[in-house]
Every structure is written in structure tokens, then in C-alpha cells.
Structure 1
């Protein structure tokens, strides 16, 4: 199965809790139907990305990266690679690469969707159709900052940094998902 087919299957099966997320799910499916290259970075109108809200073993802290180009605290994640076979696999790969933590576990169901404008490394303005997953770190996990980050820190889920306001809906969805 291709990454594109996996994205269609995952988003077809997923049932988000709210109307806004359902509207985005439908938009993603429409975009995937129109663009066979939707999961490739070279898709200039926009492309599907995969990210991970990494939670510690207790679910009380999340690992955020201070993104060098955006200058804000964000969840871990990024572009899908040609070797990625699934969206969850892409999110887990990104989380492992960017955190340095081995033994991460991912919930294969998305937790949140977000479309945002960005100028990627190709230098062309585009959009990221980000599919976000919950990833759990093992007990005592120590993160190691990668070259892709200015800083990497654990933050209490109820006390995120001031420039991370747009992460609150994803964090709330993640906490609701792990409570089930």
C-alpha cells in the first residue's frame, strides 16, 4: 500500500469529535482525491505532513520543539519521506528523529488536523495539511535536541509556553483520546 492510500484509509476511518475537525477531514479527503502527489513535498499547492504530540508516560507533560524558522514552540513532526509507508509511521519517525527518544509508542488514529500556510525548505509558499498523532514516551525518557531544533523541552500540558496558543486544541484532543 502506498502512503497516499494509507492517508486516504486513515482519514476515511477516523471520526473526529467536533464539526471543525470533521470539515477538515473532508477537505483533506478531497485534496487527496484530487492530488495523487498530495503526500509529496514537491506538491506545490500543499502537501500532507505528519506530526506527533509526544506525551510523557504519565500524560502530564508534552515535548515541544522551538522551531528555528517559525520561532515558536511546536509539536514534533514534518514532511513525509519516500520511504514512509504510513502516516503514523511518518509521525513516529519524525518524533524519534527530533526527540532522540527510543521506544516511543504511537496511537495509529489521528488526534487532530491543521492546515497552515508555510514556506518550506524548497522556498516556495505552500500549505501543510498536518495530520497529528499522539505518541507516548517510555518512563524516564530523556530527550536529546536534534539539529532541527533551537530548543527541546518538556512542558506541563496545562502550562504550555505563551507562544503555543494554537496547540491547545490538539493537546485537549490528545488528552481526551488517551482518557478513553
Structure 2
């Protein structure tokens, strides 16, 4: 049986559930809506000018967020990346990336209460052209899924893509939009 990536209908349903909580962000997601009405798979890394990616916002018992140092960008970011055909749901892509990049399996995390099926944040950011991959400049629409580290589990980095990691307090989380949403948590 062949796995299918998250369907356009799934992406649209998750987006609408998110926007029910954050209606003021609808205008910010115009590139996503354009991708959803296009003929191409919105989760494919070959869909331009924008496609969907997924990240895992992992919160430990001290209310710190895991950041990994990505070799490709040199930036401290949440574990995440492109969807793969085996990812049936957007959340699955975030969990797979967390496991691949930081060695933390899905069994060691629990979705943030109230965010089991709705991302904590959706961010749109520009990506530079990458001629070696034949990719023009484009945008990622990053669905950021929040999880608690349910079991104490060591971070084991994927050394091909990741150079290091930090646990950062909510107030110093790299993404301003994630930082703002974490500040609202009780």
C-alpha cells in the first residue's frame, strides 16, 4: 500500500481550525490559500512559490523549548522540515522530524492540551533560492505543533543536519509568534 501525504482537504481543515482561534491571522496566510487552490500538492517541496512544512515545539518540564542548530541555515530553530509521503497528517511530519533530528520518538511526547489537532502557530517565512537543489526563492508555510516531553528522554542529534541544541525559556524562544503564543499559556 502506498502512503499518501496529507491531503489538501486535511491542510485546509487544520488551517480553518487554527484560524477559528486566530481569525486575525487569515490575511497573513494568503500564500497558503493560494497553494491550496493550486493543482500541485501543497505539502510537496517542489510546489512553488510556497509549500507547507511542519515543526515540533517541544516543551520540557521546566517550560523550556527545544531548539536545534540546523547546519543548512546556521540558525537555532525548532526541529522540523518538509513533509514526506509517509506523513499522513501534518502532525505526523512534525513528530517524524523531531525523531529524526533530535532522536526523541513520538512515544516520548504528548500533544499540548487543546492542540492535539490544531497547531500552536502557523508561520510564513522566505527561503533563499538553492540552485544545487534547483529550487527558486520561495516561502515555507510552517505548521508548528506543540508537544510536552512526557518521558525524560535524551536528545540525540542527527549529525548530518544538526550541529547542537539548546533548551530555551518561553521568553527567549527564537520565533516571535511562538513566543507570543507560549506567553498566553497558563
TM-score for both structures, normalised by structure 1: 0.83
Q: Does 1:22 align with 2:33?
A: no
Task: Choose from 50, 63, 68 the match for 2:54.
Answer: 50
Alignment partner, residue 63 of structure 1: 66
SS of 1:127 mapped into structure 2: strand
Are the aligned partners of 1:56 and 1:136 in contact in 2 as well (CA < 8 Å)? yes
Q: Where do 1:148-167 residues align within 5 Å? A: 148-160=161-173, 164=174, 167=175
Distance 1:134 1:175, change over 3 A: farther
Q: Where do 1:1-180 residues align within 5 Å? A: 3=6, 4-14=8-18, 15-17=20-22, 19=24, 21-25=25-29, 27-58=31-62, 60-102=63-105, 103-106=108-111, 107-118=116-127, 119=129, 122-124=133-135, 125-147=137-159, 148-160=161-173, 164=174, 167-176=175-184, 178-179=185-186
Q: Which consecutive residues of structure 1, in runs of 5 or more, have no partner in the other structure? A: none
Q: Which consecutive residues of structure 2, in runs of 5 or more, have no partner in the other structure? A: none
Cα RMSD of the aligned pairs, angstroms, is: 2.2
Offset from partner CA, 1:81-124 (integer Å, 9 cap, x none):
01111111111111122121231223321111111121467242
TM-score for both structures, normalised by structure 2: 0.80
Distance 2:13 2:23 in 1: 20
Are the aligned partners of 1:12 and 1:29 in contact in 2 as well (CA < 8 Å)? no
Are the aligned partners of 2:104 and 2:154 in contact in 1 as well (CA < 8 Å)? yes
Structure 1 stretches of at least 4 aligned residues deviating more than 6 Å after TM superposition: none
Distance 1:16 1:122 in 2: 37
Are the aligned partners of 2:32 and 2:50 in contact in 1 as well (CA < 8 Å)? no
Distance 1:169 1:152 in 2: 20
